[in-house]
Structure 1
């Protein structure tokens, strides 16, 4: 019955757009726990990990004592070698928010299983919603192998897929991790990372990762801003250059001309709350929020090198949003040109937010 049920689940999931599937147990991931604690101690973790304790992430039964199996699914979102024409957004941000899409599909899988096994069947859906080490679970379930960029690679879809899990109260036969990986001696991703966030194979400093920085609240560190290039949300560089992902389809946004990008960046910087919700509702950009996106757009504009943009963005030195004021100041200083230093000095004199004022001071010292 178990093998038959497992194959029925696999077939059903594949039919609704979840072609990647594996099963693991809720047993503790004891090898992972000390690694997560070490990351925290070395300050390599991201701001989003603060309240997710290593013990809970590595011990599924802490949150789900009734669990007997964990079904791991992958939903592909990009084709290997296909070009991303949007440039300023990572590929995963271009469609509907994957949390919603994956949860809808996993709900269908859960209800399908319930029809097969009866009303006593119990399940919970996890898509970035519980303190679970989802990537480690998927690896253990044979979904993929670890790349040196710390992403999971599936033999057929590369790293271009989302993860989601069903925690269930019936036991199914576990799958085994995949043997080996495709990295071998390749370190292209490590060498290509714009900020050096990939410190060494399989070690990521999340506080330097552009993808993390463009999502995190607060002020972007000064030493990261120039390296963001034109990116407004996310970063695909370590995936774009990877031979396993069909590398060579395009250059990084850092090297594109700004002709097609600048109008989009100006639109994002000037966007109203109503316009933002109308255009980006149901996407991960809406999850990040208008403030974060406008902050990032101002930095990206500063990286275009177009001094003619200063008159177009200087009004945001007095924007209602302190994040936008601070990062527009950096952009004006970075672009330079006639009058930019004076614009900054006047904005600094009028600024009442002490944190923003300090950011402006740092910018003035750099100009």
Structure 2
């Protein structure tokens, strides 16, 4: 069996995974914490978590008869933080780049990581079935009801940081987790012992929307990633300024983490994906910026053509456009006003409401006076409420 495991490990490395560990498929020790989290309302509108609540209790909810779990980590882009800070400073200070928003680092490759990782898991599963006749296995990438980070700790891949993410001394936290559940007992790795965050609270202190009510607990309703990706409605006004220039996702709590400032083992596959980004990303640059103007110029069909196989498809054009409007409100510039006023003719009241708010962030009295004519024709309560905040 040890020879089989070593062969699986070598295959995983050849597929681009940076680390692998094996955990027993046992009842989740943290299940009650998940229940408390859901009942505290911290899941926001992610009702699918609650609907599958019981399935999280034991891995058999994902694969009946599961006995072992192979946990795999694949790096995504982990650019040098100091160089990245310098690039972003240059971007902000260059007037020609005024209309850009930031996107989370895991999107930089231009590929949907599920599409990248699933074929790799299938190839590993074929090897498992060939080596262990009769074995049943299932590969998952963060879409099944499994306590993946808890399992990763049991597999020895790291510890849960105060920002709730899995941390690894060599890899930091810029990596995807995926799992292969099998219905046979495999030799397991030693669980990771201890936590290595010490007294550091950099991730908690840096969050501009105060998404962490306590260390190790995240209120998704306040998380920028949730607000820009998962939530379909307009974020509440008190959180909009905290979104800053984030168009899709957020990396703040990872960027400030000391463990992400250490050299990381880089996955050749994901590095290669970044070097050969999907065509059609407009003028997005390699330092994680996305041109806002392009979202106003394309329709839904063109957005689908460009981004159907990328992470941005999850928000659709409507969500991305809403986010772009909020970014424009947070960095008000005269050249944005034409686009924002154009949004007031859109059918979607969420977009119109966001545009009203964004226009009102400008120190432009003429623009505010121009809004009066739009107020008289507006009947949707959501949009009217934004006018009344003037």
Provide the C-alpha distance between the structure 1 equivalents of 2:255 and 2:48, rounded to a whole number of angstroms: 29
Of 219, 228, 241, which aligns to 2:234?
219
1:92 aligns with 2:89: no
5+ unaligned residues in a row in structure 1: which ranges?
Answer: 248-259
DSSP 3-state at the match of 1:275: helix
The verdict on how the C-alpha distance between 1:263 and 1:72 changes in structure 2, with shifts beyond 3 A counting, is: closer
Provide the C-alpha distance between the structure 2 equivalents of 1:121 and 1:67, rounded to a whole number of angstroms: 10
> Which stretch of the first structure deviates more once superposed, 133-142 or 292-301?
133-142
CA deviation map 1:46-80 (0-9, x unaligned): 42254444321121113422212111111100226
Partner of 2:323: 296
Provide the C-alpha distance between the structure 1 equivalents of 2:349 and 2:126, rounded to a whole number of angstroms: 46
Partner of 1:255: none
Partner of 1:252: none
CA deviation map 1:203-258 (0-9, x unaligned): 111110001110121121111111111111000000001111018xxxxxxxxxxx
5+ unaligned residues in a row in structure 2: which ranges?
Answer: 88-99, 263-286
Of 36, 39, 43, which aligns to 2:37?
39
Provide the C-alpha distance between the structure 2 equivalents of 1:51 and 1:186, rounded to a whole number of angstroms: 30
The verdict on how the C-alpha distance between 1:91 and 1:104 changes in structure 2, with shifts beyond 3 A counting, is: same
Q: CA RMSD in A?
A: 2.2
Of 181, 189, 192, which aligns to 1:178?
192
Partner of 1:362: 385
Q: CA deviation at 1:87?
A: 5.8
Partner of 1:313: 340
Partner of 1:77: 76
Paired residues of 1:81 and 1:245 also in contact (CA < 8 A): no
Partner of 2:66: 67
Partner of 1:238: 253
Q: CA deviation at 1:298?
A: 0.6
Paired residues of 1:319 and 1:325 also in contact (CA < 8 A): yes
CA deviation map 1:28-47 (0-9, x unaligned): 11x31211111122212242
Q: CA deviation at 1:331?
A: 0.9
Provide the C-alpha distance between the structure 1 equivalents of 2:340 and 2:102, rounded to a whole number of angstroms: 18
Q: TM-score, normalised by structure 2?
A: 0.83
Paired residues of 2:211 and 2:219 also in contact (CA < 8 A): yes
Paired residues of 1:80 and 1:158 also in contact (CA < 8 A): no
The verdict on how the C-alpha distance between 1:87 and 1:176 changes in structure 2, with shifts beyond 3 A counting, is: farther
Provide the C-alpha distance between the structure 1 equivalents of 2:244 and 2:49, rounded to a whole number of angstroms: 31
Q: CA deviation at 1:279?
A: 2.4
Provide the C-alpha distance between the structure 1 equivalents of 2:353 and 2:68, rounded to a whole number of angstroms: 49
Paired residues of 2:378 and 2:384 also in contact (CA < 8 A): no
Partner of 2:273: none
Q: TM-score, normalised by structure 1?
A: 0.88
Q: CA deviation at 1:290?
A: 0.9
RCO higher in 1 or 2 (8 Å CA, sep ≥ 6)? 2
Where do 4+ consecutive residues of structure 1 move more than 6 Å?
260-263
The verdict on how the C-alpha distance between 1:224 and 1:155 changes in structure 2, with shifts beyond 3 A counting, is: same
Q: CA deviation at 1:294?
A: 0.6
Q: How many residues align?
A: 348
Partner of 1:166: 180
Q: CA deviation at 1:141?
A: 1.2
1:20 aligns with 2:43: no
Q: CA deviation at 1:5?
A: 1.4
Paired residues of 1:197 and 1:204 also in contact (CA < 8 A): yes
Provide the C-alpha distance between the structure 2 equivalents of 1:162 and 1:262, rounded to a whole number of angstroms: 21
Q: CA deviation at 1:344?
A: 3.2
Partner of 1:323: 350
Paired residues of 1:79 and 1:157 also in contact (CA < 8 A): no
Partner of 2:201: 187
> Which stretch of the first structure deviates more once superposed, 47-56 or 162-171?
47-56
